[in-house]
Chain A
Amino acid sequence: MTKTFSLDRRAFFLGAAATGAGLSIGLAIPVNEAHADAVAPEINAWVVVKPDDTVAIRIARSEMGQGTLTGLAQLVAEELACDWSKVTTEYPTPGESWRRKRPWGEFTTGGSRGIRTSHEYVRKGGAAARMMLVQAAADAWGVPAAECKAQNSVVTHVASGRTTTYGKVADAAAKLTPPANPPLKDPKDWTIAGKPLKRLDTRDKTTGRMTYGLDVKLPGMLNAAIRECPVFGGKVKSFDAARVAGMKGVKSVVLVGDSAVAVVADTWWRAQSALDALPIVWDEGANANVTSASIAQWLHEGLDDAQPAFVGNANGDAKGALAKAAKTVEAVYAYPYQNHATMEPMNATALWTPDKCEVWTGTQNGEAAFAMTVAASGLPPEKCEVYKQMLGGGFGRRGNSDFVRQAVLIAKHMPGVPVKLIWSREEDMHQGRYHPTTQARLVGGFDANGDLTALRIRISGQSILASLRPEALLNGKDMATFAGLTSSGDAALGYSVPNLLVDHSMRNPHVPPGFWRGVNVNQNAIYIECFMDELAHATGQEPLAFRRKLMKAHPKNLAVLNAVAERIGWDKPPAQGVYRGIAHHMAYGSYVAAAAEISVADGAKIKIHRLVAATDPGYAVNPAQIERQVAGSFVYGLSALFYGECTVKGGRIEQSNFDTYNSMRIAEMPAVEAIVMPSGGFWGGVGEPTICVAAPAVLNAYFNATGKRVRSVPLKNQSIGFA
């Protein structure tokens, strides 16, 4: 079971089948388990069974720590009825997918979609393979398949007691016609899926054997370091290659597109050292005077009702009801730019010849990396290939292929020579696709009985889709901006308010935005859940009871909220000096809630004693890994709350490394209790949703502790930190 995955040899054979030239290069890549398995029969696109009964399950989505590799394998193995201890996994290549007309569907790995949008077809892949293996065994025995059953990679003819194994009938099974629509097990009958199994990829991650994109080695490979104009939209005016041409190991200085310069050398350290010594003059362009303050001012102007805005959710007459309200409460919140800061900086290795372009990279979107390879190489798709590597973190950043484009453009300068491009941490900080910045003005209106009659939310700020996927805008509107605040869908608002208006004044600064773990729900959950607390306190109502009054039509939201309230003991007073906060949200198809217990020293040093989280993802494919995603989500969410901010000065990002862009350490990690409570009937994601409830639960507890309402992130700007 622990015999796992780096760059899988078979996956490489698939990818290299079109050309003998690539084969020798592929074999030079370190493989963890060098089996001569290229002849093992493919039962269908999802399942390969080897003579020793080892099963290789194909995984199209990318593993970046979230556990999708193991979870998807569990779903296939469940229907395949195979021996889990003999399961391995492999990545099909995007080029193979293109040539075979996408038998694995989407490769995209983002939006917590890995399992929730592919569970049905991967399970059918496993079920079809099982039926073919059973049929092959039945054919060999001359009995009807209906008289046979499969379990643990063994086929048994029940009446006669004869048995065989998957490995023995795999060749015959591979020749059968796949069943069109195999029936699937009821999840209540699962024996592999739904269980808290260990991850498949752990051992090599503890021995240094796991290879990430940064670790790719190819014969004759050179290394490249790059610097792109730090002012977004700027260009290279000139550079003085002669100044570094004589430095040890330097091979070439390359203009990449019109905005970046790369140094190619025998080692990366020599390339980066030369790059640091290379004089580059930038044409910084139109954005060289933009600052955080100028962006904030522009966004603030968008909070004015008179400014045009896209409506994301509305019912009743919010403006009219607010005008008639007995009491109104108003607050303005803000959320900054943030970098993903994956532990592994962006990188890609490319080998270009006039006949073939190959790329090795960690990507959340293999098909986009492939399309970028095609575009940048100038070669047709049949002459391109991408070999996905383990990701040293993704968090949305590796859904982009900007670094793939750079690597291919550099490699084109040296045909036949593989070039590994690695970004320095500084380049990674300066060339992010940042969590977008927004502000929000929220107004609540009460009647004389203290019931909330109206809620008005004006969001002002940046759209991700307008920059990355303009085709997904609806007449200019970015619905993703309203995540967690919509009337329906996979991130719907968990409250019913008689008069509601949520709208968005779209303002897109020049800083490039990107999808980011959790992304729009991260700020929207702070806005709505802290403001709900404000509304309760402003009218003398207990915050949980106040929420419950508005959640009668939202039973799943209420269930997770009640679960954390009960576990933390909300109806009993906390220990002396300890204060509680609570929050809930819907995100990525799942319902999540958190309750925090904190103490605060000197009004500014927060000790988080305990965080209780509840998650209803519909179905829990691996509860143990869901728990780990919940605990990890708190680290990502609390790092963002306490430390996360990229500021803009001179049109560029000021932070350059972890000394100026901090992240939580183990000393700051609170005790986390994860309640996984799948209620069935829908499929939600787990990699991201919990992040968004981390901050509001802690901020609401901070208010209870200090009476101070914090309405902007990060806390470090207000001299608030971890105790």
Chain B
Amino acid sequence: MLTLTVNGAAHEIDVEPDTPLLWALREQVGLTGTKYGCGIAQCGACTVLVDGVATRSCGMAASDAVGRKITTIEGLADGGALHKVQQAWIDHDVPQCGYCQSGMIMAVVALLKDTPKPTDADIDAAITNICRCGTFREARAAIHAAANA
């Protein structure tokens, strides 16, 4: 048993310590907005915030997340109000299939926290998520819009 603090709530879960945080979130905590894409920290679909840092949750053991603040896509909105990145995503009609978008949105949230007005070069360096539908054009516009929101 170990305890994870996810979106402000403590979850005591029955999980092996070396289970990837991704699967602990999906299967033990029950939050499926964080997606499995590759399992080797390549694609970014599983990105969550760990103490505010964008983290590929497939590559972090659940035990290493104990005592840290985990934020998933489900915890991004503040009550009924969407985060400005979510709102920008809606305004720009970014998602296609949508499967990778939770991870990309979380990566963008972290980027804007550290770099409130990112340049295109900042975006290129920080956002390395794979999107097979190819939403990058709209995503870039939405990132700039969120930065100016």
| B37 interface residue (CB < 8 Å to A) | yes
Interface size (A, Cβ < 8 Å)? Answer: 64
A343 touching B40, Cβ below 8 Å: no
Distance between B127 CB and nearest chain A CB, rounded to angstroms: 5
Chain B residues with Cβ below 8 Å from A211 are 32
Chain A residues with Cβ below 8 Å from B99 are 212, 342-344, 392-393
Nearest A residue (CB) for B106:
A208
Out of B16, B43, B136, which one reaches A669, CB within 8 Å? Answer: B136
| Residues A659-705 near B (CB distance < 8 A) | 659, 663-667, 669, 671-672
B135 touching A343, Cβ below 8 Å: no
Stretch at the interface among A17-25, A547-555, A628-636: A628-636
A206 touching B95, Cβ below 8 Å: yes
Nearest A residue (CB) for B22:
A269
Stretch at the interface among A61-69, A154-162, A352-360, A573-581: A61-69
| B77 interface residue (CB < 8 Å to A) | yes
Chain B residues with Cβ below 8 Å from A201 are 95, 98
A392 touching B35, Cβ below 8 Å: yes
Cβ proximity bits B32-76 to A, threshold 8 Å, 1 near / 0 not: 111111111011010000000000000000000000000011101
Give the interface SS of chain A, mostly helix, strand, loop or mixed: loop
| Residues A303-362 near B (CB distance < 8 A) | 341-345
Out of A422, A663, A671, which one reaches B132, CB within 8 Å? Answer: A663
B100 touching A343, Cβ below 8 Å: yes
Chain A residues with Cβ below 8 Å from B131 are 343, 635
B32 touching A205, Cβ below 8 Å: no
Complex-state Cα separation, A208 to B101, whole angstroms: 9
Nearest B residue (CB) for A425:
B38
B27 touching A269, Cβ below 8 Å: yes
B93 touching A199, Cβ below 8 Å: yes
Distance between B136 CB and nearest chain A CB, rounded to angstroms: 4
**Given A207-B73, A665-B128, A344–B35 Cβ distance below 8 Å?**
yes
Chain B residues with Cβ below 8 Å from A214 are 32, 35-36
| A99 interface residue (CB < 8 Å to B) | no
Complex-state Cα separation, A691 to B37, whole angstroms: 23
A65 touching B97, Cβ below 8 Å: yes
| Residues B125-149 near A (CB distance < 8 A) | 125, 127-140
Nearest B residue (CB) for A223:
B27
**Given A205-B98, A268-B27, A669–B89 Cβ distance below 8 Å?**
no
| Residues A258-312 near B (CB distance < 8 A) | 267-270
**Given A341-B132, A424-B39, A624-B93, A667–B124 Cβ distance below 8 Å?**
yes
| Residues B111-133 near A (CB distance < 8 A) | 123-125, 127-133
B102 touching A208, Cβ below 8 Å: yes
| B6 interface residue (CB < 8 Å to A) | no
| A209 interface residue (CB < 8 Å to B) | yes
Chain A residues with Cβ below 8 Å from B86 are 206-207
A206 touching B82, Cβ below 8 Å: yes
Out of A215, A393, A667, which one reaches B133, CB within 8 Å? Answer: A393
Out of A199, A635, A671, which one reaches B134, CB within 8 Å? Answer: A635
Cβ proximity bits A630-668 to B, threshold 8 Å, 1 near / 0 not: 011111100100000000000000000111000111110
Chain A residues with Cβ below 8 Å from B101 are 205-206
Chain B residues with Cβ below 8 Å from A669 are 134, 136-137, 140
Complex-state Cα separation, A392 to B94, whole angstroms: 15
B40 touching A269, Cβ below 8 Å: no
| Residues A355-383 near B (CB distance < 8 A) | none
Out of A206, A223, A395, A663, which one reaches B90, CB within 8 Å? Answer: A206
Complex-state Cα separation, A452 to B64, whole angstroms: 68
B137 touching A657, Cβ below 8 Å: no
| B105 interface residue (CB < 8 Å to A) | yes
**Given A66-B96, A390-B97, A635–B133 Cβ distance below 8 Å?**
yes
A391 touching B97, Cβ below 8 Å: yes
Complex-state Cα separation, A344 to B43, whole angstroms: 11
Nearest A residue (CB) for B77:
A207
Chain B interface: which size bin?
35 or more
Chain B residues with Cβ below 8 Å from A198 are 90, 93
Distance between A596 CB and nearest chain B CB, rounded to angstroms: 15
Complex-state Cα separation, A343 to B37, whole angstroms: 6
B23 touching A269, Cβ below 8 Å: yes
Complex-state Cα separation, A669 to B135, whole angstroms: 10
Chain A residues with Cβ below 8 Å from B124 are 665-667
Cβ proximity bits A234-276 to B, threshold 8 Å, 1 near / 0 not: 0000000000000010000000000000000001111000000
Nearest B residue (CB) for A666:
B136
| A210 interface residue (CB < 8 Å to B) | yes
Nearest A residue (CB) for B36:
A214
| Residues B1-31 near A (CB distance < 8 A) | 16, 19-20, 23, 27-28, 30-31
| A203 interface residue (CB < 8 Å to B) | yes
The interface centre, meaning the residue of A269, A664, A671 with most chain B CB atoms within 10 A of its CB, is A269
Complex-state Cα separation, A210 to B99, whole angstroms: 9
Complex-state Cα separation, A669 to B133, whole angstroms: 12
Complex-state Cα separation, A217 to B94, whole angstroms: 27
The interface centre, meaning the residue of B34, B40, B137 with most chain A CB atoms within 10 A of its CB, is B137
B132 touching A393, Cβ below 8 Å: yes
Distance between A620 CB and nearest chain B CB, rounded to angstroms: 16
Chain B residues with Cβ below 8 Å from A341 are 132
Nearest A residue (CB) for B91:
A198
Complex-state Cα separation, A67 to B135, whole angstroms: 13
Out of B32, B73, B97, B140, which one reaches A666, CB within 8 Å? Answer: B140
| A202 interface residue (CB < 8 Å to B) | yes
A208 touching B125, Cβ below 8 Å: no
Complex-state Cα separation, A337 to B43, whole angstroms: 21
| Residues A79-102 near B (CB distance < 8 A) | none
Distance between B74 CB and nearest chain A CB, rounded to angstroms: 5
Chain B residues with Cβ below 8 Å from A633 are 134
Complex-state Cα separation, A657 to B36, whole angstroms: 13
| Residues A216-239 near B (CB distance < 8 A) | 217, 223
Chain A residues with Cβ below 8 Å from B135 are 628, 632
Chain A residues with Cβ below 8 Å from B98 are 65, 201-202, 204-205, 210, 390, 392
A632 touching B28, Cβ below 8 Å: no
**Given A203-B90, A268-B27, A663–B130 Cβ distance below 8 Å?**
yes
Complex-state Cα separation, A669 to B86, whole angstroms: 22
A658 touching B38, Cβ below 8 Å: yes
Distance between A691 CB and nearest chain B CB, rounded to angstroms: 10
Out of B16, B20, B28, B82, which one reaches A207, CB within 8 Å? Answer: B82
Distance between A119 CB and nearest chain B CB, rounded to angstroms: 21
Complex-state Cα separation, A336 to B36, whole angstroms: 27
Distance between A283 CB and nearest chain B CB, rounded to angstroms: 28
Complex-state Cα separation, A624 to B98, whole angstroms: 17
Distance between B141 CB and nearest chain A CB, rounded to angstroms: 11
Nearest A residue (CB) for B72:
A208
Out of B35, B93, B138, which one reaches A343, CB within 8 Å? Answer: B35
Nearest B residue (CB) for A345:
B36
Distance between A642 CB and nearest chain B CB, rounded to angstroms: 13
Nearest B residue (CB) for A201:
B98
Nearest A residue (CB) for B133:
A65
- Told that A344-B37, A665-B127 touch, could you supply 6 new A-B pairs with CB distance under 8 A? A208-B72, A212-B35, A344-B35, A390-B97, A635-B131, A636-B134
For the complex of A and B, 10 pairs with smallest distance between CB atoms: A208-B33, A635-B134, A392-B99, A205-B98, A65-B97, A632-B134, A65-B96, A667-B124, A208-B73, A269-B23
19 contacts across the A-B interface (CB closer than 8 A) = A206-B95, A207-B33, A207-B73, A208-B72, A212-B99, A214-B35, A215-B32, A344-B37, A345-B37, A392-B99, A425-B39, A624-B93, A632-B135, A635-B131, A635-B133, A635-B136, A659-B40, A666-B127, A669-B140
Q: Which residues of B contact A (CB under 8 A)?
A: 16, 19-20, 23, 27-28, 30-40, 42-43, 45, 72-74, 76-77, 82, 86, 89-90, 93-102, 105, 123-125, 127-140
